[in-house]
Amino acid sequence: MKMSYREAMRQALREALTTDPRVFLMGEDVGKYGGTYAVSKGFLEEFGPERIRDTPLSELGFVGAGIGAALGGMRPIVEVMTVNFSMLALDQIVNTAAAMRHMSGGQFHVPLVIRMATGAGRQVAAQHSHSLEGWYAHIPGIKVLAPGTVADARGMLAPALADPDPVIIFEHAQLYNMEEDIVPAACDIRSAVARRTGADVSIVAWSGCLPKALEAAQHLAEEGIDAEVIDLRVLRPLDSATILASVRKTHRAVVVDEGWRTGSLAAEIVARIAEEAFYELDAPPARVCSAEVPIPYPRHLEEAALPQALTIAAAARQVVGKT
Q: What is the pLDDT of residue 185?
A: 79
Q: Per this entry, what is the length of the chain?
A: 323
Position 1 confidence tier, pLDDT thresholds 50, 70, 90: confident
**pLDDT mean over 151-164:** 97
Q: What is the pLDDT of residue 220?
A: 98
Sign of the dihedral through C-alpha 95, 101, 104, 110: positive
Distance, in Å, from the CA atom of 72 to the CA atom of 112, rounded to the nearest integer, reads: 11
Position 183 confidence tier, pLDDT thresholds 50, 70, 90: confident
Give me the catalytic one of 59, 79, 133, 171.
Answer: 59
Q: Which residues of 86-116 are buried (b: 16+ CB within 10 A; e: fewer)?
A: beebeebbbebbbbbbeeeeeeeebbbbbbb
Residue 179 β-bridge partners: 4
**pLDDT mean over 136-144:** 97
Q: What is the pLDDT of residue 304?
A: 97
Q: What is the pLDDT of residue 184?
A: 77
Distance, in Å, from the CA atom of 113 to the CA atom of 102, rounded to the nearest integer, reads: 18
- Give domain 2-181's CATH superfamily: Thiamin diphosphate (ThDP)-binding fold, Pyr/PP domains (3.40.50.970)
Q: What is the pLDDT of residue 201?
A: 98
Distance, in Å, from the CA atom of 188 to the CA atom of 255, rounded to the nearest integer, reads: 22
Residue 138 a catalytic site member: no
Residue 228 a catalytic site member: no
Q: Which H or E run contains 249? A: helix 240-250
The pTM (predicted TM-score) of the whole model is: 0.96
Q: What is the pLDDT of residue 186?
A: 76
**pLDDT mean over 170-199:** 94
Position 322 confidence tier, pLDDT thresholds 50, 70, 90: confident
Position 198 confidence tier, pLDDT thresholds 50, 70, 90: very high
Domain 193-320, what fold? Rossmann fold (3.40.50)
Q: What is the pLDDT of residue 230?
A: 98
**pLDDT mean over 78-106:** 97
Q: Which residues have CB under 8 Å from 281's CB, separation 6+?
A: 247, 251, 252, 253, 273, 274
Distance, in Å, from the CA atom of 253 to the CA atom of 256, rounded to the nearest integer, reads: 10
Fold matches, 2-181 and 193-320:
yes
**pLDDT mean over 38-62:** 97
Distance, in Å, from the CA atom of 115 to the CA atom of 132, rounded to the nearest integer, reads: 13
**pLDDT mean over 248-270:** 98
> CB of 232 within 8 A of CB of 259?
no
Q: Where are the domains of the chain?
A: 2-181, 193-320
What is the overall mean pLDDT for the chain?
Answer: 96
Give me the catalytic one of 128, 172, 258, 302.
Answer: 128
**Is 258 buried (19+), middle (13-18) or exposed (0-12) by CB count in 10 A?**
buried
